[in-house]
Amino acid sequence: MTTSSTTHPDFETRVDLRRPERLIASVPYLLGFTPADSLVLLVHASDGPESHIVSHVMRVDIPDAAAVPELAPTLDPALTGAAAVTVVLVGGDPPDDGPAHRDVMAALSAVMTDLGVPINHALWTPEIRIGARWRCYADESYADESCAGELPDPAASTTAAVTTHAGQVTYASRDAMAHTLDPESDEALARRAALLELAACRDEAEPADVDDEIARAYAIVRDALERFRTGADAGTRPALADQEIVDLARALAHHEVRDAAFSVCWPPRSEVAVAAEHLWTALVRGVPPPERAEPASLLAYTAYLRGDGPLAGMAVANALEACPGHTLAKLFDQALVHAVPPEKLAGLARDRRGALSAVAGRADDAGARARGPGAGGGGTVSGAARNGGPERSGPG
């Protein structure tokens, strides 16, 4: 089940989706990708003055009608306090003019009745594109032409304009979004895994001072973020060498360093948050497991804060695949399941604001004293597996 929040803290434009064709055309921009063969629920805010507002959107592959009751345990926590839902079924070819998947819709109606959440409206379209036909589901008649029509151009919708202006990318499909996290080549991952093992062996032979090591780890992450921020200003993304990726993976294996990195993820879509998301994505693709779980968790958090539930869910799955039982990834997974508003998790970032730069500054001072006047910078991180980070096979 994919959940995407529409309560973006930086979205101030209200979009009127009361017309069915506008609502259907907006679904790709609410989800972040164009759904196919999908059951989509637009969840209305709890009773009160905001009950007409869509708080979050949920998507699942269209199940068989007999399997619809199995959705109840997943839907229940995410619909807690909801005033109503609007249902959009995408896909199928009905034998007549009526909507497809009527048996699925009937089964879903029964589930929603049991959960105590009314269905505000139920709509169907074979696909979301300009000119595609759409129809309403209705108990009394499926031939009501007053609730049918053709879709407008989704790319020309107000929702498309608002989300694009906010910097949100809408993918052609869920698979296209997932491909952005595809790992690099097996050869590249094998090289980095070997470097990680070599570094761990060196740690055993030459233990580092814990405080100095953690300060250097902070500095490594801070400097990489600055490179990605500067690259974004120039319209480019830095390429990371094997050793840089290994150093960053080991730095983030110190959980105090990883947690301090929450601070750069807020506010969403800020210059530094965009740079951070690009860095986390590069590391998710470039770091071998189990270390991959740390940047994947940071990517999940960054995406979650800007309301991109689908990408956050993919990042969580990536983290748990790399390191089953990873504590932070499991926390974010539960936040997705319960559709926790992004603002409720923002405290993780706000409470750590400035921590990354402050501690990294101590490493700069120590390095300057050690090098003396005019000496160059540089250095790699060591000791991450022992000094706060997981061993290469453990959860974090």
Q: Express each pLDDT in 18-68 by its tens digit.
A: 789 999 999 999 999 999 999 999 998 775 545 568 888 999 999 999 999
pLDDT of 225 reads 95
Is the Cβ–Cβ distance between 101 and 122 less than 8 Å? no
pLDDT digits (tens, 9 = 90+) for 357-386: 665 555 455 454 444 444 444 444 444 432
Q: Which pLDDT belongs to residue 17?
A: 75
Confidence of residue 128 (pLDDT cuts 50, 70, 90): very high
* Span 219-245, average pLDDT: 90
pLDDT surpassing 90 at residue 324: yes
Question: Where are the extended beta strands (E) located within the chain?
Answer: 2-5, 38-44, 54-61, 84-90, 119-125, 133-136, 148-150
CB 21 within 8 A of CB 149: yes
- Angle subtended at Cα 384 by Cα 381 and Cα 389, rounded to the nearest 5 degrees: 150
Nearest residue to 340 (alpha-carbon basis) of 4, 73, 1, 41: 4
- pLDDT at residue 358, as a whole number: 62
Closest CA to 41 of 154, 117, 129: 117
Pick the more confident residue, 123 or 363. 123
Q: What is the pLDDT of residue 60?
A: 94
User: How far is residue 191's CA from residue 29's CA, in Å, rounded to a whole number?
Assistant: 39
Element containing residue 75 per DSSP (H, E): helix 72-78
Question: Tell me: the pLDDT tens digits for 132-161?
Answer: 999 999 754 444 567 899 999 999 998 898
Given a cut of 80, whether residue 85 has pLDDT beyond it is yes
Instruction: Write out pLDDT tens, residues 260-300.
Output: 999 999 888 888 999 999 999 999 999 999 999 999 999 99
3-class state of residue 136 by DSSP: strand
- Supply the pLDDT for residue 33: 95
Whole-number pLDDT of residue 168: 82
Q: How confident is the model at residue 11 (pLDDT cuts 50, 70, 90)?
A: very low
pTM of the model as a whole: 0.82
Residue pLDDT, tens place only, 22-35: 999 999 999 999 99
pLDDT surpassing 70 at residue 87: yes
- The mean pLDDT of the chain is 85
Q: Above 80 in pLDDT, residue 115?
A: yes
Buried b (16+ CB within 10 A) or exposed e, 363-393: bbebbeeeeeeeeeeeeebbbbbbbbbbebe
Greater confidence (258 vs 210) lies with 258
Per-residue pLDDT, 351: 82
**Tokens of residue 175, six digits:** 């698979």
The amino acid at residue 45 is A
